[in-house]
């Protein structure tokens, strides 16, 4: 990948304020996904969806995100990551309202396609904006942004739990959630910031895929993306169908997962400094796999929630570690390397949940979760490739 031509520069010197604005964008993005994840059983009940049909709905959401990635990247290059992020945040907020109001499965699929576009496109541009702020500050702060995403997801899932406790239908909950996140995080996202604008060379591919040693790094990211996607879209269903909890208790599953990720991500940098990336990645894969196996083997509420905590701790560090290794690759330029690994990681996060639904329809949800656990063990086995 040739060097991009910088056509404008970051002009704001208010880095603490900009850092807070980026954190708000990450929290907003996570909060809406957390609200959706907590109410998946309610959406299933409203539309009487089978596991296979739910998988198809999640496939629509994943496809929306995947088709948005290259478009969002070009928009950020042309218009700047910061202004595009704000526009996409508004689209994302509006889309969850449509998900809640959708009266039929067909319209639900269309709404989830738009929801996926908003989520995926904003994910690309807010990470680009975060990288600008990080470069301006001259020190690593990316992990703190991802911690804010997990915190937002936990808060969104917690709001979903409250909604189930008072029997609030999704047609009312999702508009209220949209209004709340817009009112809380929207004003904080406003900041004096002029984003970098770059002109990409002609013929630059829209998608980049790993090659060489990065193939193994990409597999690690894929396993983490699959595990995070399974926790987001299937943890509440697992608690409802396998553990036989009430919908309000099931909504706590993803909230617990997200809060465990927040706690771990706030300590990841220190752990890597002390123990190295290989040891942290190996522990992460083993912890995530142990969490899934604990939930499958015991299938009680305490054991399942303990397993969810292990999953959150395990997956917290994997994607950041994979991105760090990609950026340090001696053969591939950093931008192209990170993009290639992100394609597998985020692709699995978005496309994995519908695949889990299709496998569950053919076999069982237990079998689907066992396969996710095996992928976590693969990540642990491949940990040495993260050595820089």
- pLDDT digits over 88-123, tens only? 999 999 999 999 999 999 999 999 999 999 998 898
Phi, psi for 7 (deg, rounded to 5): -105, -15
- CA–CA gap between residue 318 and residue 316 (Å, rounded): 6
Whether 286 and 178 have beta carbons less than 8 Å apart is answered as no
Cβ atoms within 10 Å of 175's Cβ, excluding its own? 17
Q: Please say if the pLDDT value at position 9 is more than 60.
A: no
Q: Helices 301-315 and 277-298, interaxial angle, to 10°?
A: 160
Give yes or no for residue 1 having a pLDDT over 60. Answer: no
Average of per-residue pLDDT across 374-384: 96
CA atoms within 13 A on the CB side of 262: 18
d(CA 93, CA 180): 10
| pLDDT, tens digit (0-9, with 9 covering 90-100), for 254-297 | 888 988 988 898 888 778 878 888 999 999 999 999 999 999 99
For the chain, state the CA radius of gyration.
20
Place of tokens 């496939």: 59
Q: Which residues pair with 239 in a beta bridge?
A: none
Which domains are assigned to the chain? 12-197 (1.20.1250.20), 208-388 (1.20.1250.20)
Q: Which residues pair with 199 in a beta bridge?
A: 5
């Amino acid at each position: 990948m040739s060097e991009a031509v910088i056509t404008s520069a970051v002009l704001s010197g208010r880095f603490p304020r900009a850092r807070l604005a980026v954190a708000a964008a990450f929290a907003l993005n996570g909060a809406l996904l957390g609200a959706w994840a907590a109410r998946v059983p309610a959406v299933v009940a409203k539309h009487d969806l089978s596991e296979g049909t739910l998988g198809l709905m999640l496939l629509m959401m994943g496809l929306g995100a995947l088709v948005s990635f290259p478009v969002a990247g070009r928009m950020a290059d042309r218009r700047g990551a910061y202004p595009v992020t704000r526009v996409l945040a508004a689209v994302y907020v509006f889309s969850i309202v449509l998900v809640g109001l959708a009266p039929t499965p067909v319209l639900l699929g269309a709404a989830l396609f738009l929801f996926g576009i908003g989520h995926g496109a904003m994910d690309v541009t807010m990470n680009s904006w975060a990288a600008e702020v990080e470069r301006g500050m001259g020190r690593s702060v990316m992990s703190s942004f991802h911690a804010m995403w997990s915190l937002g997801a936990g808060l969104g899932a917690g709001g979903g739990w409250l909604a189930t406790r008072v029997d609030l239908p999704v047609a009312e909950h999702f508009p209220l959630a949209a209004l709340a996140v817009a009112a809380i995080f929207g004003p904080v996202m406003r900041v004096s910031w002029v984003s970098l604008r770059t002109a990409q060379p002609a013929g630059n591919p829209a998608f980049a895929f790993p090659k060489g040693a990065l193939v193994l790094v990409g597999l690690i990211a894929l396993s983490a993306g699959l595990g995070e996607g399974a926790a987001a879209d299937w943890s509440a269903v697992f608690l409802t169908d396998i553990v036989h909890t009430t919908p309000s208790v099931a909504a706590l599953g993803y909230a617990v997962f997200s809060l465990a990720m927040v706690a771990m991500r706030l300590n990841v940098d220190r752990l890597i400094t002390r123990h190295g990336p290989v040891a942290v990645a190996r522990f992460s894969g083993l912890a995530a796999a142990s969490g899934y196996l604990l939930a499958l083997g015991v299938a009680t509420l305490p054991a399942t929630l303990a397993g969810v905590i292990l999953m959150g701790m395990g997956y917290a560090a994997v994607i950041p570690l994979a991105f760090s290794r990609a950026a340090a690759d001696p053969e591939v330029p950093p931008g192209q390397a990170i993009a290639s690994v992100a394609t597998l990681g985020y692709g699995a996060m978005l496309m994995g949940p519908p695949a889990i639904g299709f496998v569950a329809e053919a076999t069982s949800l237990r079998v689907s979760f066992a396969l996710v656990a095996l992928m976590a063990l693969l990540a642990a086995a491949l940990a040495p490739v993260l050595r820089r």
